[in-house]
Structure 1
Amino acid sequence: MKPKLSGHTWKKGIFQSIWNEIANPLENEKSWTYGQLPEYIWLALILDKLGRIEGINQSVKILKYWKEINPKIEDCRFSTLLAESVENQQKLFSYIRLFVGDNTLEPLTLIFDIHEYPTFNGNFYNKMSSEKRLSKIEQIMQECMGSQTNMTTDIKYIVLFFHSICNKIKFMKRQKYIIDDLNDYARLPHENEKMHTIRPLVRSIFGAIQSMDKSNLVYLNKFWEDLSCMSACKLFSVNLSEVDEQNLNKDQCVVAFQNIFDYFISIKQDVLILDEKMTVLLGLAVFAYNRFYEVYKHDLDNSISGRSSVRGLFEILIIMKYLIHEENNHDNIWKDYQLYGLGKYKLVCELNKDKINMPEGEGTHIPLKYLNILVEEFFRPEFLDINTKYFDDNNIRKKAEITGLADLYATYYEYLTSYEHGFWGSVRESSFVKCDNPAHQYHCIPSIEQHDNLTSVWSDCVLLMHHIVNVLNEEYGIPDKLLVEVNKFDPKSVNG
């Protein structure tokens, strides 16, 4: 049976987004943020200086003039402008200075310096400090980083105008309404209701044209490399570790669970001494409690290790319920489960035979001699098989479905598995801090100080411990006075 996920199709183990069947994302150099904004930032500076309506009108005049002095020009990118002849540059820069001032484009002299771009610098550098020039560039980029902001759409509109006078955009007669909408754009304020339909039109036409244009990678690399080196990271993080813990009294909660396990251990010692079923179920439950206790004892609530503990608790719950579910379908499932686990330890010992006699402290933390003793607990190791498959041939997802824990599986497992295997999502969430500098493209910086800034797992641990205790209660019963104490700390179930 193929798995289902809304908005995706299942193909050979991959949930493929249906959008990838319709279109492909733009290459980085053609994306707005990386590939387009650096090329049109000069238009953004004009809009910022003159305001929206006047900025659009003056930009249109400048582009018309550029087309007059060089009829062969087909785009209005800044890299194209800088590649013009010195004569054309001088004409165009003088025109820009006349209509928008000689300090409007000055911030860009920080990147395009006098050594490589003497004509541009000679026209626009007015001794503005490096700090002010950088600050203005960062401000503009912050306003225009989003591909759908109002200012970004204004820039795209100006670029579309230039494409239209270059005859790169043509409409059929029956599309006159599009021409009317585009003509309305420059005179209507963004608050006008009609702009809700015109803005998406501008962005879609711009995207169609730019996806076919060739990018100037040399220019883009220079822009980003130079700009990023001139400014420092501005790190920020959201503190998620102070989320309310539902006022759970952790000390009393741990004691309540401990009392239940003390009760079962006494029964195991005094009554069900050789009962293999209880050996396995209680062993698993105590192992879960020990992990739960470590979260409490070592304050792992907001840590990476805490997430590993939650995953461990959940797997124990699944195994306990699965063993009970299959008890009548699998002869002596309790002994087989123990042998399966000891076979895993036998594999460790076999693979590390050459290390078993190494002096203490020179090997790993794995106590190989002790593991060999455990492997021989039931019979000699040469008679113990090593099963490298899943126990009972069902993976953890299938076991969750069989035992009615599919909802909890969907809640916990994939997320927590990312932490166990170091998948990028967990690495990004737990070990990086965001940079709030648009000049750095809002990149992320690895951090060794963010490991305790994750949301707390305490309530999840308590919830899963309740599930585990309920399994014991259903099988063996628990005195009401012990259950009452534990139920005082029952968090709201995450699956309703």
Structure 2
Amino acid sequence: MAKKPAKPDVIKQEKFKDRNLTMLSSLPRDKGTVQNVFKKLGQGMLHPVSWFDECVPNLLWAAIAVTTLDRDAALVVFREVVRRTIDFVEKRKELFVTHNYLALATNDEFDAMMSPVLESDALKNVMGALLISDWLPDRRHWARHYAPLENEASIEILMAAVANTHGHQSERATDMRWLKLLSFIFAQERMFFDRSFEEAVSEISEYPNKGEMQSVRPTIRAMEMGTRTVEFGTENMLVDWPADRPKLPTYDAEPFWKEMHAKTPCLVPSHFKRADAGPKEARQELLEISKLVGGHFHRTITTTKADPRHEGAFGLVLYACHLALTTAITPTNTLAEGRIILRTILEAFITLHYLTVKDDATIWLQYRKYGQGQTKLAFLKNVREEEIPGFIDLDELESFANEDRWMELEDIELGHWANLNLRKMSEEVGLRDLYDKYYDWSSGYVHGQWASARSTVYINCFNSLHRFHRVPGVMGPAMPSTLVDIAKIVNRMLDDLNALYPSFKARLSWHKKVNEEDLSAAERPEQNEFADPVLGEEAAVKR
């Protein structure tokens, strides 16, 4: 029997299995705050030194090496740098492999330490790229051995080096972090271990040829973080710093990034496919479902007087269908508006399911009267205003507020109509899993939270020397479509409608035949084509 293909959501989850993350259930809590896992370690871990922002600029030569050489060759160079430091640099304990410490080295010390780099034929044509940076602390040493490269070539080399090492858990970054640790332990002799750590030290020494890399690599990264107080001068390499050695200057990588921003252009996609309307099948089915629900309303009506249960149930379902159809016939299903609509449909479903599970005439009336009161509130707030918002029709508000009975007899409830928030409602009727899945992220778009604004109006600059910073995109590429999720929720609302007013068997089915990723109108930019975000496509450059 043929094996069924994995569901799209299962496939999406596969790539996250190896993430070294603390799950939500294991994170500490303090009242309304879910704390980060390092909180218990104190203030020092709240603002750790950034690998990308601070460490990569201080080890640019190594970033170029791991990008230019194949991995085995790069590791040989790193190992040789540490070995020759041990063998040929008398005052090796005062130095380190980073640019800020190499700036303190004499010519002979630098040449001895960096001899494996200087002797490499493969690196001769790329190390001159370092000289494009006036910030580089040890620039004078590299200038003794290499001629400056053309600006375009230097930028290309540095961009590749930074891009390939910016991920602090990537293989190349781990190799660079291993170099620092190896130097720290064996050349500077700044870490000491008792016999119980002999195996761990051996695994570091013989990396990557000894031990299980799934445990060795995280160990290297964790231990490397312990070298940074020395690297950046918050702890002196020696308690009694030699009088003949210049003091380590205060380290600040921000001028490097500012320099790179000034010397290199932003690189953003020059064009990409914009958002598009939903699939034809989705539009057709939603329109047909809406008509069928309307027909079922007429078949099940029992009275023409106010009927909170009948009108409320059908009203919520048809409202969701209306919103779903609106986002299906427009590009909004792949834009911020689609996420707002998804959140609204989710709330409509949780409300309907709560009412369906309780199915109490008093609660149905409570839901309806709350809505009447809110209409009265909106009317009274605007009826005496000189300038009324353009979207408000006071005649309509007055009509709705008086529809069931004279508004003067209606109370206005200022809290939630069921005295519950949406999360509590979802818990009461077994929908907490759905709430957790959809509510938080979609609500961000309703409330204008930073991440939602960021995902909607910013795109990333592809220039690694700009730290992949964010630039306005105005109408950026389409986001993943919300239509499949909307279809699933609408179907569950139809289940509730069928439970209240049987029998209604029609359901949406188009979404079961498509790959969710196919619904996104986003398209990768043409390979290697980028444009300046200010000057437009005329300033397109090759990466």
Name the TM-score, length of structure 2 as normaliser. Answer: 0.73
8 A Cα contact 1:241 1:456, kept in partner: no
Say yes or no: does 1:409 pair with 2:439: no
CA contact (8 A) 1:291 1:309 kept: yes
Q: What secondary structure is seen at the aligned counterpart in 2 of 1:392?
A: coil
- Percent identity (aligned): 19
State the shift of 1:78 in Å: 1.0
Q: Secondary structure at the match of 1:219?
A: coil
Once residues 23 and 239 of structure 1 are traced to their aligned partners in structure 2, the CA distance between those partners, rounded to angstroms, is 47
Give the direction of change, closer, same or farther, for the CA distance of 1:56–1:403 in structure 2 (3 Å limit). Answer: closer
- Structure 1 range deviating more: 16-25 or 414-423: 16-25
The answer as to 2:180 corresponding to 1:159 is yes
Matched residue, 1:455: 480
1:210 aligns with 2:214: no
Measure how far apart 1:299 and its partner are.
Answer: 4.2
- Give the structure 1 partner of residue 259 of structure 2: 226
2:518 aligned partner: none
Match of 1:323 in 2: 355
Residues 109/89 of structure 1: CA separation in 2 closer, same or farther (3 Å cut): farther
**Correspondent of 1:33 among 44, 48, 52:** 52
Cα offsets for 1:140-198 (capped at 9, x unmatched): 2223223344443443343334434333222234544344434434xxxx466666655
CA contact (8 A) 1:240 1:454 kept: no
1:304-330 CA-to-partner distances (Å, cap 9, x unmatched) read 2222222222222222232344444x6
Q: CA deviation at 1:20?
A: 3.5
**One-letter identity of the residue aligned with 2:176:** I
Q: Measure how far apart 1:129 and its partner are.
A: 0.3
1:338 maps to what in 2?
368
Please identify, of 458-467 and 174-183, the stretch whose mean Cα deviation from structure 2 is larger: 174-183
The structure where helix makes up a greater share of residues is 1
The 10-residue stretch of structure 1 (302-311 or 105-114) with the greater mean CA deviation from structure 2: 105-114
Paired residues in the alignment total: 465
Deviation at 1:123, TM superposition (A): 1.5
Residue number in structure 2 paired with 1:442: 468
Q: Give, as a single letter, the amino acid of the residue that structure 1 aligns with 2:191.
A: I
Equivalent runs, 1:278-297 vs 2, <5 Å: 278-297=310-329
Letter in 1 for 2:347: E
Q: Deviations 1:203-244 (Å, cap 9, x if unpaired)?
A: 333222325654676531111111233223333699897999
What is the SS of the residue equivalent to 1:301?
A: helix
Residues 460, 471 of structure 2: 8 Å contact kept: yes
* Contact 2:276–2:330 under 8 Å retained in 1: no
1:433–1:444 CA contact under 8 A, matched in 2: yes
CA distance in 1, matches of 2:135, 2:473: 34
Shift of 1:393: 0.5
Matched with 2:336 is: 304
The offset of 1:403, in angstroms, is: 2.8
Report whether the alignment pairs 1:467 with 2:492.
yes
CA distance in 2, matches of 1:194, 1:337: 60
1:90-109 matches, within 5 Å, as: 90-92=107-109, 100=118, 105-109=127-131
Q: Distance in 2 between matches of 1:48 and 1:285?
A: 57
Matched residue SS, 2:206: helix
What is the aligned counterpart of 1:274 among 300, 305, 312?
305
Counterpart CA distance in 2 for 1:35 and 1:295 is 44
Q: Determine helix, strand or coil for the equivalent of 1:391.
A: coil
Name the structure 1 match of 2:295. Answer: 262
SS at match of 1:300: helix
2:256 maps to a residue whose letter is F
Change (3 A) 1:369 1:230: same
Opposite residue 38 of structure 1, the aligned amino acid is: P
Q: SS of the counterpart of 1:340?
A: helix
Structure 1: gaps spanning 5 or more residues: none
Given that 1:43 and 1:59 are in contact with CA atoms closer than 8 Å, whether structure 2 keeps it comes out as no
TM-aligned CA distance change 1:28 to 1:401, over 3 Å:
closer
Q: Show structure 2 runs of 5+ residues with no match.
A: 1-22, 234-248, 514-543
Q: CA deviation at 1:456?
A: 1.9
Secondary structure of 2:61's partner?
helix
Task: State the Cα distance separating 1:365 from its structure 2 match.
Answer: 1.7
Per-residue CA distance 1:229-281 (angstroms, 9 max, x = gap):
32233336998979997x9453144224313313414654xx42115132322
* AA partner of residue 313 (structure 1): I
Paired with 2:167 and 2:35, the residues of 1 have a C-alpha distance of 26
| Contact 1:49 1:55 (C-alpha < 8 Å) held by counterparts | no
2:426 corresponds to which of 385, 389, 400: 400
1:351 aligns to what? Answer: 381
- Corresponding residue of 2:35: 16
Distance 1:468 1:200 in 2: 47
Q: Distance in 1 between matches of 2:140 and 2:511?
A: 73
8 Å CA contact 1:322–1:399 kept in 2: the answer is yes
Give 1:355-434 correspondences, 5 Å limit. 355=385, 357-358=386-387, 363-434=389-460
Higher Cα Rg, which structure: 1
**Mapped contact 1:433–1:450 kept (Cα < 8 A):** yes
Alignment of 1:96-135 (within 5 A): 100=118, 105-112=127-134, 119-120=140-141, 122-135=143-156
User: 1:7·1:17 contact (CA, 8 Å) conserved in 2?
Assistant: no
Contact 1:253–1:489 (CA<8 Å) still a contact in 2?
A: no
Q: SS in structure 2 opposite 1:30? A: coil
Q: 1:32 to 1:25 in 2, by over 3 A?
A: farther
Secondary structure in structure 1 of the residue aligned to 2:34:
strand
Q: Say if 1:311 and 1:413, in contact at 8 Å, map to a contact too.
A: yes
Tell me, in whole angstroms, the C-alpha distance in 1 between the residues paired with 2:58 and 2:50: 11
Cα distance change, pair 105–58 in 1 and its aligned pair in 2 (3 A): farther
CA RMSD between the two structures = 3.8
Q: Deviations over 1:400-420 (max 9, x none)?
A: 233333332232222321221
